[in-house]
């Protein structure tokens, strides 16, 4: 079994009560095969991710750079990469955006 859980950082605009479900995060962190993916805009978002990881044990961590166009995606991973790797987390991209852009349903 595999769960891919994607808690939303504050920049998503949703209130914390809607973005984070503490009991669910802690319970899912205890299930083998669960991975946690955070979509981040900038290195400043990583402090928020670190707080969630510390409070709920959410690991392994994958950081995906935010971007809705291939141009945006070409810039953000470089801004996040060193800080993500320094924390021992994984960095990934949004392949679906690189291939299909901002089209929904792909």
The pLDDT tens digits of the residues spanning 72-82 come to 777 778 889 99
Residue 41 lies in a domain: yes
Residue 79 lies in a domain: yes
| Domains: count for the chain | 1
The Cβ of residue 59 has, within 10 Å, a number of other Cβ atoms equal to 12
What pLDDT score was predicted for residue 54? 96
DSSP percent split of the chain into helix, strand, coil, nearest 5: 45, 15, 35
pLDDT tens per residue, the chain (106 residues)? 788 999 999 988 999 889 899 999 999 999 999 999 999 988 999 999 999 999 999 999 999 988 888 777 777 788 899 999 999 999 988 877 778 877 776 5
Residue 36 lies in a domain: yes
Residue 105 lies in a domain: no
Residue 66 lies in a domain: yes
Residue 7 lies in a domain: yes
Which residues span the domain enclosing 77? 3-100
């Amino acid at each position: 079994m595999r769960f891919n859980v994607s808690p939303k950082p504050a920049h998503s605009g949703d209130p914390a009560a809607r973005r984070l479900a503490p009991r669910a995060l802690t319970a899912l962190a205890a299930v083998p095969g669960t991975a946690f993916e955070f979509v981040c805009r900038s290195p400043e978002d990583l402090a928020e991710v670190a707080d969630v990881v510390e409070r709920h044990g959410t690991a392994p961590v994958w950081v995906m750079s935010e971007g809705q166009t291939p141009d945006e995606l070409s810039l953000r991973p470089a801004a996040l990469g060193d800080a993500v790797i320094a924390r021992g987390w994984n960095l990934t991209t949004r392949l679906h955006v690189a291939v299909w852009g901002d089209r929904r349903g792909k």
